[in-house]
Amino acid sequence: MAESLKQSPMYEAYARIAPRKEDWPVLVKQLTTALKIDYDWSAEVARLPMPVMIVIGDADGVPPSHAVKFFGLLGGGKRDANWDRSGMTPHRLATLPGLTHYDINLSPALSQAVIPFLDDGSTG
């Protein structure tokens, strides 16, 4: 699996910054193992004290419905924001069109979505 992923944008990004490119198979094995672990953090998510932004691609490995559910656990998407935005939570959800889990980090749309959230003093 690690060898076939060397053709991916994920590997290109890894190769640019990794001090030991030859450890790519180790990373892939660790990630594969971690993804097999069943977990449910629903209760903890609802108690997160900081503003959270969820960003996915519309062709992501994470189904958009899961991101919406996670956003809902934070209190997002449950009511109208009101004309003056007084009903908004500090949390944000962005689904970026035409992007996957493998190329979202290479798209200018990611920074365009995230930077305003990070710059907004009311979210942190």
Tens of pLDDT, residue by residue over 31-90, are 999 989 988 889 999 899 999 999 999 999 889 999 999 999 999 999 999 999 999 999
Domain count, the chain: 2
Residues 26, 74, single domain; the answer is no
pLDDT tops 50 at residue 22: yes
pLDDT band at 124 (very low <50, low <70, confident <90, very high): very low
Residues 57, 25, single domain; the answer is no
Give the predicted TM-score (pTM) of the model: 0.74
- The angle subtended at Cα 77 by Cα 62 and Cα 83, nearest 5°, is 140
Residues 87, 117, single domain; the answer is yes
Residues 72, 84, single domain; the answer is yes
Closest CA to 97 of 109, 80, 85, 87: 109
The pairing of strands 92-96 and 53-57 is parallel
pLDDT number for residue 101: 86
Residues 71, 47, single domain; the answer is yes
Residues 60, 70, single domain; the answer is yes
Residues 59, 109, single domain; the answer is yes
Average pLDDT, the chain: 91
